[in-house]
Amino acid sequence: MNYQEFKDQLDTWGADIRKWPTTLRLDAENLLISCPKALNAFRDAAALDAILNTAGEAHKNPNSKFQSSSVKKIVATLLNRNQTHFPL
Amino acid sequence: MLIDYKDKGKPVNRADSDTSLMQAISVNDKDAWHVVIGLYASSVSRYAAWILRDQSAAEDITQETFLRLTKKAATWTPGPTTVKAWLFRVARNLCIDRLRTRKEEYVNVAAPAIAGLDSLDIDKAIDIVTSVNKSLNKLPERQKSALILVHFEGLTGAEAAQALGVSIDATESLLARARRRIRKDLTNVFPDLIGR
């Protein structure tokens, strides 16, 4: 794997190499050890991941109004409607 | 690999697990209905909220998606498409229909989403969520969907491809373009965090 291939995978999957295609992970880890430029790109992708994760986790937070009211309401409505249409 | 919904601890093939779940739903098995809602309702509703930026509309989309699953269950046949990917595909199509016709006022989901946070610096978190939302909303719908499905909702590349109705290669291309554009946007907002 060369630097550009590594960068393309970073752009696609982010810095969590566990999400990468399995056939590329070992090559990616080897490049990280041997190529400072790859390590810089990896750190940069990890920083972007951290920002995206913060936004994503805010939406998933079980204590947020979105989760506690909206999802409960959805589930209750679905269960009620399902029982109405298809008596269980 | 999922497990059979009624036989936790005993690993079975994913397609078998999906088929078992759908067969149970088709005969009105209440437990199966609870399982499928428990597994996917939150994720589908978050996805719809990201796309529509409207919590109320996202609730409608989620309800309609799962009602369609009830109808689909009787004719479900095992194949490459997972129940999870099927749900996201239906939700996405419903969201696109809604976007084409909607006239509702913009409602940002960032504020309610952030309200429950207590372990983060609230100001910084609001900045981040607002900036990410703003940047996401500039993306073409398919790029935005690809990023949300894979990065936020944890779908694999194959599952996202099924949900989007495109090849895995095309999905990877959508993801890469989305991340590059988001990175460019966020570098301007958070120069201390990205591109140092």
Nearest-angstrom CA–CA distance, A18 and B34 = 31
Q: pLDDT for B50-74, tens place per residue? A: 888 888 888 889 989 998 998 888 8
Separation in Å, CA of B9 to nearest CA in chain A: 24
Put simply, the chain B residues between 64 and 123 with a CB less than 8 A from any chain A CB are 66-67, 70, 109-110, 112-118, 120
pLDDT in tens, chain B (196 residues): 344 555 544 444 566 688 888 988 888 787 888 888 888 988 898 899 888 888 888 888 998 999 899 888 888 888 888 899 999 999 999 998 888 776 443 334 444 444 444 444 566 767 787 888 889 989 999 999 999 999 989 899 999 999 999 999 999 999 999 999 999 998 888 877 676 5
Whether A51 has its CB under 8 Å from any CB of chain B: the answer is yes
- C-alpha torsion sign, points A75, A81, A84, B2: negative
Q: Which pTM was predicted? A: 0.74
Contact A30, A17 (CB under 8 A): no
- Of B152, B176, B174, nearest to B165 by C-alpha is B174
The domains of chain B are located at 1-107, 110-196
Q: Quick one: DSSP state of residue A18?
A: G
Residue whose tokens read 């994720």: B43
Return the CATH fold of B110-196: Arc Repressor Mutant, subunit A (1.10.10)
Class at the top of the CATH hierarchy for domain B1-107: mainly alpha
A75: contact with B, CB 8 A cutoff: yes
Give the SS3 label for residue B11.
strand
Alpha-helical regions (H) of B102-167: 110-114, 122-136, 141-147, 157-164
CA distance B10 to chain A (A): 25
Structure tokens at B32: 């199966």
**Min CA distance, A73 vs chain B (Å)?**
8
